[in-house]
Amino acid sequence: MSGHDGARKVKFGGNVIRNPKKFETMPVGVVLRRAPGATRWAKWVWKATAVLPGAASADWAVLREEGRTIEYHAATLPLELHGADTEAYLHGLSAQVPCLYIVLRERDDETRPLDVDLVTASPYEAQDYADSGEDIVEKVAMPPGLIAWVQDFVQTHHQDEAFRKRRRDRKDVTLIEDGIGDARITQLADVYRSPMQAKKERLQ
């Protein structure tokens, strides 16, 4: 489990422990599009193209066909919001186009070659999956209603870290560094020479 995941949830015995006072969930459908590949080595190109907030469960239901291009409601997963992740959600909401992140995993099935593993609003969590190299992570723009839902959650639960004033060592500001500001030193070049040293040099 990564540091980002650890701040959000703790797994014990395969179950996720959540703070019920700072947790909300919504079912979100994931739309995958299959289009003809551009090369002979890639027969099909698959891409996550949309999300469906509040969708019912689905198993690769065909939504639209246009020639050889087909869009599927591939699956519906819970989108979870956790109070410990509000900083990540804020980061995602600040983007020019706020997005959800769809985590896909390849499987050996030509007709259904991808499993939808996760839907998240946290760019930090998405980066963890991308760094693993085992998954495909795609961004899909949030519909306005979903943006509002995430914003409301963040406004309710986000807490800025308390600002701690840096302690400074106490110093006697009346102290004068050796030779600096001493009226007995008249030459600019002598600023960093002590009065005693200057006197000795004059007597030589």
From CA 118, how far away is CA 128, in angstroms rounded?
Answer: 12
Predicted local confidence at residue 189, as pLDDT? 46
- Report which of residues 198 and 70 the model is more confident about: 70
Reading the block at residue 115, the tokens are 């499993």
* % pLDDT > 90, the chain: 57
Report, as an integer, the average pLDDT of 43-63. Answer: 95
d(CA 50, CA 29): 8
pTM score of the predicted model: 0.69
78-129 pLDDT, tens digit each:
999 999 999 999 999 999 999 999 999 998 888 889 999 999 999 999 999 9
DSSP 97: S
The string over 156-192, giving b where at least 16 C-beta atoms fall within 10 Å of a residue's C-beta and e elsewhere, is ebeeeeeeeeeeeeeeeeeeeeebeebeebeeeebee
Residue 12 in this model has a pLDDT that exceeds 50: no
d(CA 27, CA 80): 9
Helix, strand, coil percentages in the chain from 3-state DSSP, rounded to 5:
25, 35, 35
DSSP element (H, E) containing 147: helix 144-157
Lowest average pLDDT, out of 17-26, 46-55, 75-84, 106-115, goes to 17-26
| Contact (Cβ atoms closer than 8 angstroms) between residue 120 and residue 2 | no
pLDDT of residue 202: 53
Number of CB atoms found within 10 A of residue 93's CB: 17
pLDDT score of 26 more than 50: yes
